Copies of this chain bind each other. A is one copy, B any other.
Amino acid sequence: MLNFNYYNKTRIIFGKDTHKEVGKHLKGNVKKVLLHFGGQSIKNNGVYNDVIESLKSNGIEFVELSGVKPNPRLSLVREGIKLCKEENVDFILAVGGGSVIDSSKAIAIGVNYEGDVWDFFEKGIEIKNALPLATILTIPAAGSESSTGTVITNEEKQLKLSCGAELLRPEFSIINPEIYYSLPENQIANGVCDMMSHIMERYFTNTLHTDLTDGLCEATLKTIMKNGLILKKDNKNYNAWAEVAFAGNIAHNGLLGLGREQDWASHKIEHELSAIYDVAHGSGLSVVTIAWMKYVYKTNLSMFVQFAVNVMGVEGSFRDEESIVLEGIDRLKDFFIKMGLPVTLKELGIDDSKLEIMAKKAANFNNGEEIKIGGLKRLGWEDILSIYKLAR
């Protein structure tokens, strides 16, 4: 096990009707709030009205900024920063999924910064200051409701980059499973895949002696898979939503990766897809993850045997480890298909034309120099190209 330093200040307020109390949690701690959200969906499912009513009844001043789209855009972030400065906003309330929360985090770090907020993403400037924020999670998936990071798409540059800091963890996040009843089927599946990927990026490691986090990862993955399938059939099942939403939070709050080297190649490889083709992150991940596994499993066969046995329930002779591993990968693929997720680039409508460009971007390839990615197996742009090709 590796040394670690873990701090997670986000209060999780979980359960029925909890979003209606948001004003109470803010009262006394804020002067003026930016209410940041996507568009129509929170108006359709009643959350918008509940939030407005709670803010008003607690006497909380606020301004609104809507318009966040999946793969949140830098242009709206800049607009949000401008608005916060003009209106002297001192707190951001994100009502939405990962995109809204990531957009809020980017606004939060830009408000007290002199330069352009994109500097934090492109130049890796240290984040020393940010407005505090809170979230009402309307799509459990990205885990951004208590994570340290934000991922923003610069639409002009076709770049999807991330940055992060401890102080970007929200002050509190409200998770009410009832809110998720109105989510469309594809968002359930994408969310499930995103959460699972957050765990697998941490799980697949060359670090030895990680019994506890191995077990926590495995339990969380199994919880998501079991309850994801329930939701596929019954999208108003409170308890299944509660398990999935809680697991999605644990998946990305940092706990499951403590003391172990992490991977994160699949995320990086997927980000190039969604930066260019604007595919849903979860759907990009289901495609990339299967191909990544097929490409890398020989690097650490026993790690993949453990996954196949402990997560996917593969049994049989341990004298042929490779067949256990391949059966495990096949079962994961079957699960994705059962959830309605794509497992090939073709299903995403992506042809071969930009595979090399994406592979080179993923590895920051530039005049023969590259920055390899991935913890389990270090991948250069040619490896990444092979993974894209395996995913066709």
Contacts and interface: CB of A to CB of B under 8 A. Distances in A.
Interface of A: 1-9, 11-16, 18, 172, 208-209, 211-212, 214-216, 218-220, 222-223, 226-227, 239, 242-243, 246-247, 250, 258-259
A226 B214 CA distance: 13
Contacts of A9: 7, 9
Contact of A6 (B14, B208, B227, B259): B14
B14 A259 contact: yes
A13 B226 CA distance: 34
Which of A1, A8, A15, A216 has the largest number of chain B CB atoms within 10 A?
A1
Nearest to A171: B7
Given A209-B239, A219-B215, A3 B7 contact: no
Nearest to A15: B3
A171 to B, nearest CB: 10
18 contacts: A1-B239, A1-B246, A3-B14, A3-B15, A3-B18, A4-B15, A5-B11, A5-B14, A6-B11, A7-B172, A14-B258, A14-B259, A15-B259, A209-B243, A211-B226, A214-B219, A215-B222, A216-B219
Nearest to A240: B209
A9 to B, nearest CB: 6
Contact of A242 (B1, B6, B15, B226): B1
Ranked 5 nearest A-B pairs via Cβ: A3-B15, A215-B219, A209-B239, A7-B11, A1-B242
A172 B172 CA distance: 20
A218 B13 CA distance: 24
A273 to B, nearest CB: 30
Nearest to A221: B215
A181 B186 CA distance: 52
Nearest to A224: B212
Nearest to A217: B219
A2 B7 CA distance: 25
Contacts of A215: 218-220, 222-223
A222 B219 CA distance: 12
Nearest to A208: B239
Contacts of A1: 15, 239, 242-243, 246
Contact of A259 (B5, B7, B208, B246): B246
Contact of A212 (B7, B208, B223): B223
Contacts of A246: 1, 212, 258-259
A250 to B, nearest CB: 7
A220 B227 contact: no
A212 B214 CA distance: 15
A115 B1 CA distance: 46
A202 to B, nearest CB: 14
A93 to B, nearest CB: 18
Given A14-B258, A218-B219, A259-B14, A250 B4 contact: no
Contacts of A212: 219-220, 223, 243, 246-247, 250
A3 B220 CA distance: 19
A11 B6 CA distance: 5
B18 A13 contact: no
A259 B3 CA distance: 30
B5 A12 contact: yes
A242 B209 contact: yes
A283 to B, nearest CB: 24
A254 B309 CA distance: 29
